[in-house]
Amino acid sequence: MTDRMGGGKVALITGANAGIGLTLAERLLTIHKDLHLCLACRNRQRAETARKVLLLSHPRSQISIVTLDTSNIQSVLSAISDIKKQFSRIDYLYLNAGKMSVKNLNFSNLFKSILKMNTLFLFNTGHGLLVHSDEQTPEGLMSTFATNTFGHFVLVKELEDILGGTQSSQIIWTSSVAGVRSAFNPRDIQARNGKDPYGSTKCVIDTTSLVLNEKLKRKNIYSHTTCPGLVLTNMTNGILASWIWWLILPFLYIFRLVLDHLSIDTYRGSESLVWLSQQEPDCLKTGVRYHSSTDVWGSTTVLPVQVNFTLEESFKVYEEMNNLYKGFKEKYKSLDKCDKRKHLVT
């Protein structure tokens, strides 16, 4: 069992086997001595590979692996017992796993924005620039919603008893500038009928985090959101082929003159996530998203950007999320009882 009594803090990162998650893991091991790191990934083989890579630069580090797929709520619930067997507390809970399914660029909206002289907003948020796709999971949830948001919400609810206490814990979400109000319908939090399921999930993250922070801070548990900016990873390769990104890379550097969220590489993108781990959480601003901001010279700072949601409307989203969570808990509790009865009969 690992806890603070053992001398080090514990950080759990979802989606830690690649991209920003892997860079974040490496940076946390460098900054926080005696850190016990838990890689929570859906693919154990890739997680093992990531662990080996991290141990090359940090050979004495404690790195555990938990198999967890945030798009599958049963997988999340099953992983909880494994996590609690290993850890009596968690200091940093990084909710980083995510997906964005894109069919192609929305050239029609692009041309309209050029004519309306509104291209800066389009490229700053990405809203309306992409044609998204989504599908339903076997559990009946929309896949992007489950992966980016709801699976993480379930994880928070289930781990609440090993967060906070006499020492503070931080819940740190990976959100995005794509989380604009026009992407979100509070009466359709899964974006079943929406055109931007990715942007919608980021709005759900921002609102949910706001309420979690309000409800849990009395337990010494704090929740904040971050925006890594545009980072070239496997996710962006789903928008354009990697060779196209390399062709337009010089222009991205130039665009930093007017757009400060063009992190491009995972190190700069992870800046806000790492920075939060070095702060006293009770002194941080609420109702903001912490952005990794990069200037034209490549220098990165962290900027708090106001989230455009009130606490009242955020509570309504939270209640929907919480009711959905209770439904899944009851569903799998009933299934467990049925399985036990079948086992006894056999």
* pLDDT for the residue numbered 334: 74
Residue-level pLDDT at 116:
53
Beta strands, E only, 54-213: 62-67, 92-95, 102-105, 130-132, 169-174
**pLDDT tens-digit profile of 96-142?**
999 998 876 665 665 555 545 455 655 666 666 677 899 999 999 99
Domain ranges of the chain: 10-343
Which stretches in the chain have pLDDT values below 50? 2-6, 115, 117, 340-346
Q: Please tell me the predicted confidence (pLDDT) of residue 128.
A: 62
From the centroid of its chain, how far is CA 144?
12
From 156, 278, 139, select the one nearest 223 (Cα to Cα): 156
pLDDT, tens digit (0-9, with 9 covering 90-100), for 292-320: 999 999 999 999 999 989 999 999 999 99
Residue 106 is predicted with a pLDDT of 61
pLDDT for residue 295: 94
Question: What is the tens place of the pLDDT at every residue in 257-275?
Answer: 988 999 999 999 999 999 9
Q: How far is CA 220 from CA 14, 39, 163, 217, 275, in A?
A: 22, 24, 8, 5, 19
Q: Contact, 36 vs 66, CB < 8 A?
A: no
Residue 240 is predicted with a pLDDT of: 75
Fill in the DSSP letter of residue 321: H
Name, in order, each residue with C-beta under 8 angstroms of 250's C-beta and a sequence gap of 6 or more: none
Structural contact between residues 123 and 255, judged by C-beta atoms closer than 8 angstroms: yes
Q: What is the pLDDT of residue 345?
A: 44
Q: What is the pLDDT of residue 245?
A: 83
Active-site positions read 198
Question: DSSP assignment, residue 238?
Answer: G
Q: Where does 10-343 sit in CATH, by number? A: 3.40.50.720
